Amino acid sequence: MNWLQALVLGVIQGLTEFLPVSSSGHLEIGQALLGTSGEENLTFAIVVHAATVLSTLVVLWNEVAWLLRGTFTTLKWNSEKDYAAKILVSMIPVFVVGMFFKDEVEALFGNGLLLVGICLLVTAFLLALSEWIQNRRQTSGHEVRYSDAFIIGVAQACAVLPGLSRSGSTIATGLLCGVKKESVAQFSFLMVLIPIMGEAFLDMLKMIKGEVVSELDLLPAAVGFVAAFITGCLACKFMIEIVRRQRLVWFAIYCTIVGSIAIITTLV
């Protein structure tokens, strides 16, 4: 992988991590189009995922700081502890998948563009359905409840499939549960921080131990990291505003087009 390929893939990762179009699916499509392959893909994925975690922390730092202060500076139960507890509840499904089905999930990422295309169509359906139902509701919705947190967590666990957007699935599921638009976007981005940081930490340990052989040079890694971080910051802010304005249907159309092209390309 050269620095230009890393730049393109870093931009793809940064934009699609937060937009409801599947970062894993687009990264796989991008790698197929650019002809990158081998162990460097896994190493690059670790690097750019770390960049998007950092971009989330930067954009939502006020919310993260609010949670940390309220959770660890007092023993009394408060709104911050309540919110943190809901995030922990949302992590239960992805923890179960990661603990007991990790090998099966990783095997899915070698199934090519057909699976990506199918999952993109599922993402499009979820986005369109959630906006259609939201438009017909009489109320603006409620704040995230514990039951909502668990159901949204199930959506996040299912989104390990390449092509099934994590942000799209969790936001759409939250809207289907009746959660406020403003609340579900913030919760969706905050709930993923711990799982992604944990996964990145474990992957880093594998690299240090030599279980993952890095074939990625320093320059492509640095370019990819910076590109993913900058575009991730922009995409995170943009996505929160998009959900507030309720314009998810355009992403549903986009996922339908890209998913259909991926399927047709595979079958022809």
pLDDT in tens, 183-228: 888 898 888 777 777 766 666 666 666 655 556 678 888 898 999 9
What is residue 260's predicted lDDT score, i.e. its pLDDT?
92
What confidence category does residue 152 fall into, taking pLDDT thresholds of 50, 70 and 90? Answer: very high
Tens-digit pLDDT profile for residues 114-126? 888 888 899 999 9
Contact residues for 256 (Cβ-Cβ < 8 A; gap 6+): 120, 121, 124
Q: Helix, strand or coil for residue 142?
A: strand
Quick check: 156 and 93 in contact, CB under 8 A? Answer: yes
142: which strand partners? 179
Q: What is the pLDDT of residue 141?
A: 79
pLDDT value at residue 208: 64
Residue 144, φ and ψ in degrees, nearest 5: -65, 125
pLDDT tens digit sequence for 101-148: 766 665 655 556 788 888 889 999 999 998 888 878 767 778 999 999
Residue 237, both tokens? 């802010």
